[in-house]
């Protein structure tokens, strides 16, 4: 029943935002991704075509990973743009950032520093969102979830694709009913410091999990230089698949097989995610179960293990957040 039960949070959007609430102050940790510009523009510029009201980015911590070109080649450029175009204050430490804001977005493009960054945000008691990849390993993702639960600090994280309006509409229970299966796809470029799917395949995996929910039992992967196909078997015999592309035309989307119909979505927008972030910061209620986030990263880790074993079925790691 995942598609039916999850649509309440998927459908909140701008209608759920507290329009009369005080404007929240948000801080960014890790200024080495284009997302910091996209998110800040949508929040801070009332003339933006996809403006989301209710919060404003006021401070940032530069961060950056010296061994990852995708990080160090861009961090200075984005930091300067945030300062000059949006008036964002740049601070030297994460505790200093937390002292200036109501909530935090951990946006470092590299997932490896996220656990240590999250520790400091949790210590400050600030609600937080973690951009993709949530962590650099399954173990780190699980530790973020455990630490936040122990401290009673609300959080969520992941890709914008889960919250894109096209996916939300395709998963409308009036159209698809109960989801029995899903074929999701996205680009899947690789980065040597991360498990294969964490870096970019995570977008398609988020679409898959938006449809299927928790409960994947085993994973099998077929992998070539240009393509990855990962098939998961869920409880009750439901089957979901992710196709990651590294050649030819690229896009994001999925086909959803349900008890009422077969629907599809193709495209992308950040707006749905930014709406969810603002609503979350206003209410301190995560729009999804953190355990589902952890299972997604276990799914992607199991896909790497299946590749190492020549495509053999591999169980998704079992865990608790206690």
Which pLDDT score, from 0 to 100, does residue 19 have? 66
What span, in angstroms and rounded, lies between the C-alpha atoms of 315 and 24? Answer: 42
**pLDDT, tens digit (0-9, with 9 covering 90-100), for 224-249:** 999 999 999 999 999 999 999 999 99
Which candidate, 214, 182, 171, 219, places its Cα nearest to that of 197? Answer: 219
Which pLDDT score, from 0 to 100, does residue 12 have? 41
- Kindly give, in sequence order, each residue whose CB lies less than 8 Å from that of residue 259, ignoring residues fewer than 6 positions away: 176, 177, 178, 180
Burial 77-115 (b: 16+ CB within 10 A, else e): ebbebbeeebebeebeebeebbeebbbbbbbbbbbbbbb
What CATH number should be reported for the domain whose range is 162-268+297-315? 3.30.360.10
Q: Work out the pLDDT band at 3, boundaries 50, 70, 90.
A: very low
Q: Which CATH number fits domain 2-161+272-288: 3.40.50.2000, 3.40.50.720, 2.30.30.90, 3.40.50.10490?
A: 3.40.50.720
Whether the pTM exceeds 0.75: the reply is yes
User: What single-letter DSSP state applies at residue 307?
Assistant: H
What residue ranges do the domains of the chain occupy? 2-161+272-288, 162-268+297-315
**pLDDT, tens digit (0-9, with 9 covering 90-100), for 90-143:** 999 999 999 999 999 999 999 999 999 999 999 999 999 999 999 999 999 999
């Amino acid at each position: 029943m995942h598609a039916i039960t999850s649509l309440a949070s998927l459908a909140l959007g701008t209608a759920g935002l507290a329009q009369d609430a005080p404007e929240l102050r948000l801080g960014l940790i890790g200024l080495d991704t284009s997302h910091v510009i996209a998110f800040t523009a949508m929040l801070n510029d009332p003339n933006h075509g996809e403006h989301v009201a209710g919060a404003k980015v006021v401070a940032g911590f530069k961060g950056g990973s010296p061994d990852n070109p995708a990080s160090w080649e861009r961090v200075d450029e984005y930091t300067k743009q945030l300062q000059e175009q949006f008036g964002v204050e740049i601070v030297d430490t994460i505790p200093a950032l937390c002292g200036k804001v109501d909530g935090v977005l951990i946006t470092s493009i590299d997932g490896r520093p996220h656990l240590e960054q999250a520790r400091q945000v949790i210590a400050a008691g600030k609600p937080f969102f973690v951009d993709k990849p949530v962590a650099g390993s399954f173990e780190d993702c699980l530790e973020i979830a455990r630490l936040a639960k122990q401290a009673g600090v609300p959080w969520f994280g992941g890709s914008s694709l889960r919250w894109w309006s096209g996916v939300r509409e395709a998963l409308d229970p009036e159209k698809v009913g109960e989801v029995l299966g899903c074929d999701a796809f996205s680009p899947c470029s690789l980065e040597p410091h991360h498990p294969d799917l964490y870096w970019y395949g995570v977008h398609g995996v988020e679409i898959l999990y938006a449809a299927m929910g928790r409960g994947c039992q085993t994973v099998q992967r077929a992998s070539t230089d240009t393509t990855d196909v990962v098939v998961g078997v869920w409880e009750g015999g439901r089957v979901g698949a992710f196709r990651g592309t590294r050649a030819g035309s690229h896009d994001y989307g999925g086909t959803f097989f349900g008890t009422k119909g077969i629907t599809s979505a193709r495209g992308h927008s950040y707006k749905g995610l930014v709406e969810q972030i603002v609503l979350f910061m206003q209410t301190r209620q995560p729009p999804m179960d953190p355990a589902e986030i952890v299972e997604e990263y276990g799914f992607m880790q199991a896909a790497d293990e299946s590749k190492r074993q020549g495509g053999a079925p591999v169980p998704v790691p079992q865990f608790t957040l206690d």
